[in-house]
Chain A
Amino acid sequence: MPATLAAYSVVAVYSAITVYVIAFIAFALDLSKRSAIAQASAKALATPAQLTVGGSGAGTTVLEKPSAVPSVRGKASRYQRTGYALVIVGWVVHLTALVLRGLAAGRVPWANLYEFAMTGTAIMIGVFIFIQFYRDVKFLGAYITGVVVLLLGLASVNFYVAVTPLPPALQSAWLVIHVFVATLGTGFFAVGGGLSIAQLLQTRREAGGLTRAPFLATFPMAEVLENIAYRVVVVGFAFWTFTLMAGAIWAERAWGRYWGWDTKEVWTFIIWVTFAGYIHARATRGWRGSRSAWLAIIGFSAVLFNYTVVNLFFKGLHAYSGL
């Protein structure tokens, strides 16, 4: 029975990947449609209007008034709506795969690299969907489905392992909490990273560059992107702080010391400090804007590095890739 459940889980994973790929295509078509619209309206606008940002001295932002910059907003395109609907369908299938895997294993489905990837990408999509309730960031659809397809595909092809029971060191409620919260944090960092990339591109466009990516004209202004990115990353940071602490508690229980500079601990620390740097950069004159965006991207890259390279190639107590 567990074996059949596990097999169905694999089928569901591949189905989810397929749906995400189609969603990715839809989002990509949406971007090209946006490019077309942007070019058309750029022609229509004889003189680009000036950027106005409301503020009351000394950086106390009162409000960003709706600006009349050459940015084009319209109703979501049909492609985008299709892409987003597919993301939701894919996500449901993806969650089914997780549940099946969990049932097959008789435990939470995040105990080896394949399962980390499976759960982590599900959370990335979950965060992406969740954020839509506060703020429409569907323009990131191509990025997020792209990243997820890449990670989930790589994990399924290269890191697949059969269901195994947990080694004694992992049999702890702290595993459930620590790893789950870490993946939650990762989901927010992933979206934050995407927004920061968009912010950097948008900054270049606003400075007159990047004429080959006209769809950017339909994205929010760089400063707005930066503000959303900040809010998303900060949530991720709170989760990551908790991860660090839950990990220490778990290490205390399992190995008798709460901090020992094990490879994985070192990387968790590096990531935490990098994002603390990002938050500081946002508050430091001369660092807000592109420089802080780079830090958010570096931070998310460190997260990916931690999950992949560190898990696979670095020696340490946390040798749980299951490979």
Chain B
Amino acid sequence: MVSRTRSDATDAADGTSTRSDPLRPSDHIDSAGPIDDSVTQPRLGPLGYVRFFWRQLTSMRTALILLLLLALGAVPGSLVPQRSSDPNGVVAYQTANPQSFKVLDSLGLFSTFTSPWFSAIYLLLFISLVGCIIPRLKHHLDALRAKPPKTPARLERLVGYASTTTTTDAESAIVQARSLLKRQGYRVARYDTDGPHPSLSISAERGYLRESGNLVFHLALVGMLLTVGVFGSFGYTGQRILVQGEAFTNSLTDYDSYNPGRFANENSLQPFQLRLDSFQPKYLFQDGSWSPESFNANLSTRVPGGSWTKQLLQVNSPLSIGGTQVYLLGNGFAPIVTVKDPSGKVVYSGAVPFLSQDANLTSAGVIKVPDGLAKQVAFQGFFCPTPVATTTGCTSLSPYLSDAAVLQLSVFTGNLGLDKGTPVNAYSLNEDGLTKIAGFRTKVDGLQLTKGKTAQLPDGLGSIEFTGISRYVSVDVHHDPTPAFALLFAMLILGGLLLSLFVPRRRVWIKALPGKDGRTRLEYAGLARGEDPTLARAVSELVARHGQHLDGVTAEPSSDDPPTRT
């Protein structure tokens, strides 16, 4: 595909043969230079155009521009609320700025990371990546089997050049050199030359892992994209409020909300059960306010055919039940109420989760009683575990439950809209078609109940008793088949990166020249392939090591000043 324009004939002379070098796009800094056929061919055929565009797409410059676009394209995703992570924020934005919302929404900015333009950037990037990596992979697999290139005729101009003389004969010195280099992890090849000045030499190369790591890194990026983008769609998430004592079965109908991935189906739901036994929060009082210290939810779980087992659920430690994770999200109070008709018959009884509104668990909720009374009745109001009164209700001073805990309710009658079969939010009240018969802004005071107290409803409708208080937790149930694979690819990305950044790829040569005086002259030098700041030191260490295996070594002063490190 991309051809190297350096010829091996000239390379052999300076030892920079590129045959075993990693293959790079033509505009890579180490590559020979742009291939000029786009310039020299004035008219391109259709195939020529395709090849031209393909080469543009798989060039370093395109990869770079796409990377920078990717970074830039992600910025709006942090400036504007996102549907995926902050749906309420999006609604709030729409209400606050309906005008600019329309513009931004048409640009897809509220779902930046799934928008067509963002997808286009990363898809192009990954096509470029695959196009870049396949030829490199092929080339590298060949290089892994290739011998290190011929020893250059002159080593003097290369890095760390040093020469010594020894009384050891050339053959033994070179055999020693070979085993020394092999032990240091070099791949070695022996090249001897005849002629008026015969020489024996070892050519050694190491650091193939640098390119292997680079390829693993880039391939693992593709793996990560596929894992998250395709495989991830087989999962689902669901939320559910669990009131103390209540059992939840992991099935579609038992969720408060359920969000399947594109390829998820009902069969992906494992049929397990959860029950909240008790909930123990701990708070800390400091600088005049309460902050949570720990939340412990004692659950019982059961898989089909098994018995209930006790388990502790905490914020940072999800439960794992057969490949499905259960996370602790929120918690609150669920006042237990009993509603009776005028004759004293119980028409409604149960714990009703109230959603907390602040850090001190001032909680708001709705109780709906559609059947059993003369009219449909709904209660809406607040529960305050440690109350102080306000004009519109109560607010709580502490998240802990006190004896004064109060339930304050307004009362509505009318059509609750529950018969139409359309789903209705259990935690809010649509006041259309309802008449407020007690509470703020009506003639009748709202109901004020402490635990154990009963209040009569207006118009002789019946009574409501505040029987007790339960706790609830909200849990997030996740089934995501990807984390194990994502973790695997993450490790490959990190491992590949470390190899590719920190393994030096280098060549070194040791040459032995039998001298007339019976002494053998040895020459050493190295050549970096890519970033390699420690090469000179490595060569000088090699000289010292090799010297330990030889007899009567004397160093020759080098003609130049010793090269300095940069």
- Residues of A at the B interface (CB closer than 8 Å) are 54, 56-66, 162, 164-165, 167-169, 171-172, 224, 227, 230-231, 234, 237-238, 241-242, 245, 248-249, 252-263, 266-267, 269-270, 273-274, 276-277, 280-288, 295, 310, 314-317
Contacts and interface: CB of A to CB of B under 8 A. Distances in A.
Given A254-B315, A283-B60, A248 B29 contact: no
Interface string B499-542: 00110000000000000000000000001110101001000000
Interface in B27-65: 27-34, 60-61, 63-64
7 contacts: A66-B561, A256-B325, A258-B486, A261-B85, A273-B70, A285-B34, A315-B86
Contacts of B6: 57-58
A51 to B, nearest CB: 14
B486 A227 contact: no
A64 B287 CA distance: 61
Contact of B78 (A65, A162, A169, A310): A310
B286 A287 contact: no
A64 B63 contact: no
B262 to A, nearest CB: 16
Given A256-B237, A256-B327, A58 B30 contact: yes
B238 to A, nearest CB: 11
B490 A248 contact: yes
Interface string B526-566: 01110101001000000000000000000000000101101
B293 interface: yes
Given A168-B314, A285-B29, A286-B61, A260 B85 contact: yes
Contact of B64 (A56, A62, A165, A287): A287
Given A224-B566, A260-B84, A274 B61 contact: no
Interface stretch (B172-180, B193-201, B343-351, B476-484): B476-484
B71 A274 contact: yes
B372 interface: no
B169 interface: no
B287 A284 contact: no
Nearest to B82: A261
A256 B478 contact: yes
Contacts of B497: 237-238, 241
A284 B27 contact: yes
A269 B533 CA distance: 29
A147 to B, nearest CB: 23
Given A63-B536, A234-B501, A172 B316 contact: yes
B71 A262 contact: no
Given A165-B291, A171-B316, A280-B64, A256 B476 contact: yes
Given A284-B60, A287-B61, A277 B71 contact: yes
A2 to B, nearest CB: 12
Interface string B314-342: 11111000000101000000000000000
A257 B64 contact: no
Contacts of A285: 27-29, 31, 34, 60-61
Nearest to A173: B316
Contacts of B241: none
B157 interface: yes
Given A169-B315, A255-B327, A288-B29, 19 more contacts: A57-B6, A58-B16, A63-B159, A167-B292, A168-B295, A227-B533, A238-B494, A241-B494, A245-B490, A245-B494, A256-B476, A257-B478, A267-B78, A273-B74, A277-B71, A285-B61, A287-B61, A295-B68, A317-B85
Contacts of A282: 29
A252 B291 CA distance: 23
Contact of B533 (A231, A288, A314): A231
B315 A168 contact: yes
Contact of B89 (A165, A234, A257, A315): A315
A254 B478 contact: no
Given A274-B68, A315-B86, A238 B498 contact: yes
Contacts of A224: 566
B311 interface: no
Interface string B64-80: 10011011001101110
Contacts of B483: 252, 258
B78 A314 contact: yes
A159 B41 CA distance: 63
Nearest to A224: B566
A321 to B, nearest CB: 14
The residue in B325, B527, B531, B564 that gathers the most chain A C-beta atoms within 10 A of its C-beta is B531
B85 A262 contact: yes
A56 B16 contact: yes
Contact of B33 (A58, A64, A162, A255): A58
A59 B30 contact: yes
A84 B159 CA distance: 33
Interface in B105-158: 112-113, 157-158
A59 B70 contact: no
A14 B522 CA distance: 61
B91 interface: no
B277 interface: no
Given A255-B327, A256-B318, A266 B30 contact: no
B487 interface: yes
A165 B284 contact: yes
B16 A64 contact: no
B493 interface: yes
A144 to B, nearest CB: 21
B181 to A, nearest CB: 20
Contacts of A252: 483
B81 interface: yes
B14 interface: yes
Given A241-B494, A245-B494, A262-B85, A283 B566 contact: no
Contact of B527 (A62, A254, A276, A288): A62
Nearest to B560: A65
Nearest to B497: A241
Contact of A283 (B28, B158, B228): B28
Contact of A270 (B27, B74, B291, B294): B74
B316 A266 contact: no
A260 B291 CA distance: 26
Contacts of B327: 255-256
A253 B317 contact: yes
